[in-house]
Amino acid sequence: MKTTMRDSIVYLNGLFTPLEKAHISIMDRGFCYGDGLFETMRACNGTIFRLDQHIDRLFKSLPLIFLDIPMTHNEVKHTVQETLNRNDFDNAIIRLTLTRGVNRTGFQIDPDTAPTLVIHARPHIPNIVHQKGVQISLINTAASRLPGLNKNLKSCNFLLNILVQELSRQKGSMEGIIVDPDLGVTEGATSNIFIVKNGVLKTPSMDNLILEGITRQVVLEIAQTHDIPIEQCSLTAEEVLTADEVFITNSGIDIVPVIQVDEIIIGTHQPGDLTCFLRNKFLKCVEASH
């Protein structure tokens, strides 16, 4: 019998336990302050796509927030895979959450506090958005990233992203794209954004304070392999609105065509040719990783 989300097994601080019995303290700093990191991964037929890259990003982030974990890269990787193995999902989304753990010293960091590590999986349900395309919204905000906070931290503090997503939902859109008054188009609440103009694939550069998504990296690798012109550059809202094609990426949705930005129709109001080509190649990369 197939595992459901309700009876799934999760990893919590060294133990595998049923989801309904997994609990953390109300004093956990992840709960109190969003003090932690997370990674979201996709599995296909039991294989987690780009698992090494996800764990690499996690470990590179640890010293940036003065957090240590009593596990090696390989131990974390093995634990993520074991969590998936204990759940009978053909295709899954796996979420790893690491917090600074429980302490009662307010904002002050106690280096002796043991971190909290939670890993859980849920079924990945196919979505028709890839065939039809979606609407997104441009959300103007100056708070795209806090000054001094490394852009590649996948922090548990996602309040800005949640608000951007809600503002876009109120406009009838699937995703909100953050537009900074100084930096221009940066990234989505949960995604990276690409446009196509005159055959050139464009995406905001890392200088624009964006999270370098794993799927974003794969798309750039595919484009390079197939000699598709690439520009990692600053993008304006006008460039997005007048693009021939637009798409968004993340590990959960892979590559999703955008056919409308607010009231503006993109291209032919259908998923674009290059977008479909890149997604086809991306899915082959996922299949080849089995």
Q: pLDDT tens digits, residue range 16-53? A: 999 999 999 999 999 999 999 999 999 999 999 999 99
**pLDDT digits over 209-245, tens only?**
789 999 999 999 999 999 999 999 999 999 999 999 9
pTM for this entry: 0.94
Per-residue pLDDT band at 104 (split at 50, 70, 90):
confident
Q: How far is CA 7 from CA 20, 22, 120, 145, in A?
A: 8, 12, 11, 37
Among candidate residues 277, 270, 282, 280, the one with its CA nearest the CA of residue 132: 270
Residue 90 within a domain: yes
> Are residue 72 and residue 165 in the same domain, yes or no?
no
Max distance between CA atoms of the chain, in angstroms, equals: 58
Instruction: Give the per-residue pLDDT at 149.
Output: 63
**pLDDT digits over 131-147, tens only?**
999 999 999 986 655 55
> Are residue 148 and residue 213 in the same domain, yes or no?
yes
Q: Select from 94, 123, 152 the last residue of a domain.
A: 123
Q: Select from 95, 123, 151 the last residue of a domain.
A: 123
HEC letters along the chain: CCCCCCCCEEEECCEEEEHHHCCCCCCEHHHHHCCEEEEEEEEECCEECCHHHHHHHHHHHHHHHCCCCCCCHHHHHHHHHHHHHCCCCCEEEEEEEEECCECCCCCCCCCCCCCEEEEEEEECCCCCHHHHCEEEEEEECCCCCCCCCCCCCCECCCHHHHHHHHHHHHCCCCEEEEEECCCEEEEECCCEEEEEECCEEEEECHHHCCCCCHHHHHHHHHHHHCCCCEEEECECHHHHHCCCEEEEEECCCEEEEEEEECCEECCCCCCCHHHHHHHHHHHHHHHHCC
Angle at which helix 73-85 crosses helix 51-61, to 10 degrees, equals 130
> Are residue 189 and residue 225 in the same domain, yes or no?
yes
Higher pLDDT, 126 or 256: 256
Instruction: Give the per-residue pLDDT at 8.
Output: 94
Q: Is-contact 117 216, C-beta < 8 A?
A: no
Cα–Cα dist 124/7, whole Å: 16
Q: What is the mean pLDDT of residues 64-92?
A: 96
Task: State the residue range of the domain holding 184.
Answer: 129-288
End-to-end Cα spacing for the chain: 23
Instruction: Give the per-residue pLDDT at 250.
Output: 97
Q: What is the mean pLDDT of residues 67-88?
A: 97
Kindly state the tokens that stand for 94.
Answer: 């796996």
Instruction: Give the per-residue pLDDT at 289.
Output: 84
Percent of the chain with pLDDT strictly greater than 90: 83
Report phi then psi at 250, rounded to 5.
-160, 175
Instruction: Give the per-residue pLDDT at 140.
Output: 94
Residue 82 within a domain: yes
Pairing between strand 9-12 and 264-265?
A: unpaired
125 has pLDDT over 90: no
**pLDDT digits over 184-198, tens only?**
999 999 999 999 999
> Are residue 210 and residue 110 in the same domain, yes or no?
no
Cα–Cα dist 139/174, whole Å: 13
Percent of the chain with pLDDT strictly greater than 70: 94
> Are residue 133 and residue 276 in the same domain, yes or no?
yes
Q: Select from 90, 105, 123 the last residue of a domain.
A: 123
CATH of the domain at 117: 3.30.470.10
Instruction: Give the per-residue pLDDT at 146.
Output: 56
Per-residue pLDDT band at 3 (split at 50, 70, 90):
low
Task: Tell me the pLDDT of the chain averaged across its residues.
Answer: 93
60 has pLDDT over 70: yes
Domain count, the chain: 2
> Are residue 139 and residue 239 in the same domain, yes or no?
yes
CATH of the domain at 226: 3.20.10.10
- The rounded Cα 165 to chain-centroid distance in angstroms is 14
Instruction: Give the per-residue pLDDT at 76.
Output: 99
Instruction: Give the per-residue pLDDT at 258.
Output: 99
